[in-house]
């Protein structure tokens, strides 16, 4: 049985009108109605008109948040030779080769937020699919986490690189910062994500691509966003 939302949530919800807000209106409202005593993460959720069961309708990609995410990610780099030194110098938290693969396998160790691997290590890293896959941590060339340029990859993740991927229900969930961020910074980060998702629209997708979008804090109610301006800009850029 679902738990009934608390009084603070209900009070916050009453301040949200049943309409689509412009992003520049939604973010200040989100900050105004927050009630949690910790610095909540702000997330954007987008329901897309795609069927992820079909490979040609899978929507995924990455975007670097202009203002970071307010939390430095722990990065593991699995590489060999000089690439290990490059990774350490770039600021990776954990660096290794087959020893790291063995540690993850034997201890189910996942005390990191992102994994970067060099192509020559993917034969070993492939063994970790069952552990890393369900957590969304498996390195992938499409998201820039399988690369020879480990310096660039580490710096991007540390700067606030976000990977987005549509789930099996056709929804994308992604963080865009913290409630403590200024409204301008949250708007800029959220705009970057929305634009990236729209740009990643599959060629075969028919009908309305972004069916709905909301922005919310960890504990707060969602505020519906009008994404029409972003779609219009994307169309004009083509």
Do 216 and 45 touch, CB atoms closer than 8 A? yes
Residue 175 structural domain: 7-68+161-237
pLDDT for 124 beyond 80: yes
Helix, strand, coil percentages (3-state) for the chain, rounded to 5, are: 40, 20, 40
Question: Residue 3 above 90 pLDDT?
Answer: no
Q: Which residues contact 19 (CB under 8 A, 6 or more apart)?
A: 224
Whether 32 and 114 have beta carbons less than 8 Å apart is answered as: no
Question: What confidence tens digit (pLDDT) does each residue in 213-223 have?
Answer: 999 999 999 99
CA distances from 235 to 49, 136, 197 (A): 17, 31, 13
User: Are both 93 and 147 inside the same structural domain?
Assistant: yes
Q: What is the mean pLDDT of residues 192-212?
A: 92
Q: Are residues 151 and 87 in the same domain?
A: yes
Report the C-alpha gap between 187 and 184 in whole angstroms: 5
Q: What average pLDDT does the chain have?
A: 91
Residue where a domain stops, chosen among 130, 158, 186? 158
Partners of 210 in the β-ladder: 48
Edge-to-edge strand order for the sheet containing 114-117?
A: 94-96, 75-78, 114-117
Residue percentage of the chain with pLDDT more than 70:
96
Determine, yes or no, domain membership for 2.
Answer: no
Q: How many domains does the chain have?
A: 2
pLDDT at position 238, please? Answer: 52
46 and 104 in a single domain? The answer is no
Q: What's the CATH number where 28 sits?
A: 3.30.190.20
- Same domain, yes or no: 85 and 136: yes
Buried/exposed code over 7-32 (b: 16+ C-beta within 10 A; e: otherwise): eebeebeeebeeebbebebbbebbbe
Residues 82 and 119 in one domain: yes
Mean pLDDT of 151-165: 90
């Amino acid at each position: 049985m679902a738990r009934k939302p608390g009084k603070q949530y209900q009070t916050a919800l009453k301040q949200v009108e049943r309409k689509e807000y412009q992003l520049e209106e939604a973010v200040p409202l989100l900050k105004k109605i927050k009630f949690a005593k910790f610095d909540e993460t702000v997330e954007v959720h987008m329901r897309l008109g795609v069927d992820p069961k079909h490979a040609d309708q899978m929507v995924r990609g990455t975007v670097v948040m202009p203002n970071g995410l307010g939390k430095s990610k722990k990065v593991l780099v699995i590489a060999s030779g000089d690439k290990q030194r490059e990774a350490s110098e770039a600021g990776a938290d954990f660096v290794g080769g087959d020893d790291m693969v063995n540690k993850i396998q034997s201890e189910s160790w996942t005390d990191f937020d992102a994994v970067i691997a060099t192509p020559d290590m993917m034969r070993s890293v492939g063994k970790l699919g069952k552990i890393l896959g369900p957590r969304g941590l498996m390195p992938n060339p499409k998201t820039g986490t399988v690369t020879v340029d480990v310096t660039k990859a580490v710096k991007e993740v540390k700067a606030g690189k976000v990977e987005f991927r549509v789930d099996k229900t056709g929804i994308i969930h992604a963080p865009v910062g913290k409630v403590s961020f200024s409204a301008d910074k949250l708007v800029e980060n959220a705009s970057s994500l929305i634009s990236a998702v729209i740009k990643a629209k599959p060629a075969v997708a028919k009908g309305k691509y972004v069916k709905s979008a909301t922005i919310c804090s960890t504990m707060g109610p969602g505020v519906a966003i009008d994404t029409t301006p972003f779609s219009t800009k994307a169309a004009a850029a083509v």
